[in-house]
Structure 1
């Protein structure tokens, strides 16, 4: 490989984009991150990192528990609105099977920790990437891409589109793609301050067309979220009152947690996924990852985890390549990631339909099936999620283990 430093431009400073930037920076790349928001977002929600995401971070030498500083074990049990357990989480069994239990982390802390792993001048806020084309105006992989922003142009050896679920770069390069599809559910998320009693364990409660999740964080704060079947665009004027109306009679500690909610700190988003898979995750020297590539509903808890996997697999495949080898590495990335992530996108949508059942008979049958399924069967069904780095090409996994 020549001694010429390779340059990557990353569109988007979310978890996936920052993970890619950190992984490439540690491999000697010059990295520029363009983020359309004018400043780092104070993201008011948590994220549960499954074992596959933790293994991916380990492979690039990023210690979540030390870097983010507020990680807590968070295997989710399932309950009914009356408090009865459908399935209890077993963090010990998950650790034995996968090497670690899931960890709950505040998103803001994770973003700050990833940002700290980059040079200060690497991230440009208030700079939206508007288009990416090769120098000759085609998708020719032999040509270095030109990145256009309102602040000027960048020339790079590689461009990573981590520009989110509404990805302008996806729309630019795949104009015929059908785009996003509404799942039928809306979701609320917030993090409660550490000024009251915290639940002892993470749990998700399934009702009739409604769900409520509680995830304690290590620093005493509590990540709470809720979903409900609702028309697309439904936005109640007072989210706290809406949540109390829907979930205020559910089991403890849900009512007490709802009383502590600050309405101004509640995020509400309709849940979408891609209506169809992208034909591939790269064009020329432009490559997509995370929601920009394979937006999925959060029902498996894998949206952020798959973005982290994407970033790490991409960095491993690019490791040791010279500029001429980048197109081949991107083709290998598409081959490694397309089938896995699209299968999870479809599986997540199906899981959401089951969790969102509203008819009493269907709900009763669902709950009975959850309770009757042996734990060993449930764990086996999670293997392809939680052993994520086992599902990448052998040469990539070998590089991971060698580092």
Structure 2
């Protein structure tokens, strides 16, 4: 029986451990903390990610716990609609709910080890599912593969109220964006981003919320209403880091998945879903093929798609957070679709 050590017990790591054949592999998960994240966020599950959830046997429970995305409006900072789109079949799932479901799907035979991992474990295969700051990536791919710090701060949170009428969607202002979408249990998931020199670590959430309220003062009333209800205990404030571009995700004895392989900005809402697809793809190949062939095939299947998404997400970030080019961007968006004034703007 081959030993597989999974570094990281988040979405990618739990999904991999849940899908690997326990009759063939002796699996150990290393995770820093035993408890779930204290702050909930909502994750978009596109149809491909839902196929991975189905393979893991938890799609019905994820759908029951989640919320369906309806139409998604792209707005200017005042709330006027540039474009109205649809996200058919996409559901939003709380990160905490998803982690609970994945954790329950992990076989009892999988060993758990808690605490920080300071050096590369010894095993036939080490799977780096340890996030954008991956120890496995740095140890095997070298120090040049360290995560890259962006100039952007991201805040994400949940408020215990439904989405305000005619306020849902993503608002692109001058050098800042704000999103409002449905969350499970009739709540609202919101997010904001802009350039900031806060951090990169130890960011005071209450202070970041104060800065955010000041930055978005004078924006659409829907934004003001959400920020008025946002509380530090239900909010994350983090600088955005990304993984560097990689040409392959597997080397002898090591493999990367999730943010460790292709950590991207959150603007396309694909990070969690691609981590699930990574895990199921890798596990199915390891379950059915010799290890070397499985790793090579996994890398070939996953690199191009996820690196394109990583690059596209970065491009979307630059477009959404345009500062000096904002008037040109808004003019082009105005030509792309009929511009509608939001009732929430009150004009």
TM-score category (smaller protein): 0.7 to 0.9
Contact preservation (8 Å) 1:183, 1:349: no
Residue 114 of structure 1: CA displacement? 0.6
Residue number in structure 1 paired with 2:65: 70
Distance 1:77 1:294, change over 3 A: same
Residue 48 of structure 1: CA displacement? 1.2
Structural RMSD (CA): 2.5
Could you list the runs of 5+ residues in structure 1 that have no partner in the other structure? 96-100, 133-146, 149-154, 376-403
Residue 25 of structure 1: CA displacement? 4.5
Contact preservation (8 Å) 1:130, 1:169: no
Residue number in structure 1 paired with 2:320: 355
Residue number in structure 2 paired with 1:168: 135
Residue number in structure 2 paired with 1:82: 78
What's the TM-score, normalizing by structure 1? 0.76
Residue number in structure 2 paired with 1:365: 328
Q: How does 1:78-157 map to 2 (within 5 A)?
A: 78-91=74-87, 95=88, 101-120=89-108, 122=110, 124=112, 126-132=114-120, 147=121, 155=123, 157=124
Residue 214 of structure 1: CA displacement? 1.0
Q: Deviations over 1:154-174 (max 9, x none)?
A: x4x432110111111111112
SS state of the match for residue 311, structure 1?
Answer: helix
Tell me how far apart the structure 2 counterparts of residues 317 and 209 of structure 1 sit (CA, whole Å).
43
Residue 19 of structure 1: CA displacement? 1.4
Tell me how far apart the structure 2 counterparts of residues 217 and 22 of structure 1 sit (CA, whole Å).
26
The count of aligned residue pairs is 333
Tell me how far apart the structure 2 counterparts of residues 54 and 47 of structure 1 sit (CA, whole Å).
12
Residue 337 of structure 1: CA displacement? 1.5
SS state of the match for residue 82, structure 1?
Answer: coil
| 1:57 and 2:50 correspond | no
**Relative contact order (C-alpha < 8 Å, sep 6+): which is higher?**
2
Q: How does 1:200-349 map to 2 (within 5 A)?
A: 202-231=168-197, 233=199, 235=203, 238-274=207-243, 276-321=244-289, 325-349=290-314
Residue 220 of structure 1: CA displacement? 1.4
Contact preservation (8 Å) 2:18, 2:107: no
Residue 51 of structure 1: CA displacement? 2.2
Distance 1:23 1:303, change over 3 A: same
Tell me how far apart the structure 2 counterparts of residues 184 and 314 of structure 1 sit (CA, whole Å).
33
